[in-house]
Chains A and B, each alone.
Chain A
Amino acid sequence: MSTPDVNLELDCRGMLCPLPVIELGRRLTDVAVGGTIAVVATDVAARVDVPAWCRMREQEYVGEGVAEDGTPRYVVRRVS
């Protein structure tokens, strides 16, 4: 269950904060309501900032897993 299927995966490896969250904000509407996006990010701030983004933008934070290369992967569901 570490790499659940998602509708869109954003490769944010190597990006520093706040770029992974900016990418997430930009691409949210690329998935339909009910769809999921994974943010794959090496930036340690993403672990806090992706859930915080979900809270502020009223989206659902599904949870954290890891990509195949071991990079943290944060999954978000679009709810609006």
Chain B
Amino acid sequence: MNSALWTHLVKDLRIEWRSKDAINSMLFFALLVVVLFSMSFDPQGAFSRTIAGGVLCVATMFASVSALNQAWAREIRHQVLDAQRMAPTSGSQLFLAKVLANFIFVTIVQIALAPVFLVFYNLRIEGQAWQLALVLPLGTWALVANGTFFAALAIRSRNRELLLPLILFPIFLPALLAMVIATTSILTGDSDPGLWIKLLTGYDIIFTTVSLLLFDVVFHAE
């Protein structure tokens, strides 16, 4: 295991373990979105199965934006970010550590949210449930990898909290579409999500590679 990456990852996990800021706020926010959607659409029976996948993905997406903003905002205090820019390690390790940490947080939120979801939407998984264990991590990775990258990009601007969703959501759209369709097809069991899982994998590979390549440019932009 790479030592710089490991150090960054352990530091982020330890901060979260002590404060639990990100997970608590994400969990509550996602819960609110789920409740709001159930109240506005009154999902019942087959209809609830068709919209549940979309609601889960959108809830995750909105919730993670709050955590992603915090991920870099924390580093600005006491000029930690400047110190990290001067450190003799490549920025991509810092980036990867942040992505991994946020991936773990969002995954925890999804796991905690799943039972609430099944109860509120009266869900019964008609398709192959194990495929969810493939679709959700792939979609979450797409969201978190891009989100961490764009949060680092937005941190240099004014209105940074506002800017992140504005630049992240348009780029994330194809991954969201794939994630929603795959989740829905697993929940309803109507069609095979294989194609969408492939699309998500391709999206993850392309954007993670480009993010790793371009992160130093953004990180050292002056």
Pairing of A with B: no
**Chain B residues in contact with chain A, CB under 8 A?**
none
**Chain A residues in contact with chain B, CB under 8 A?**
none
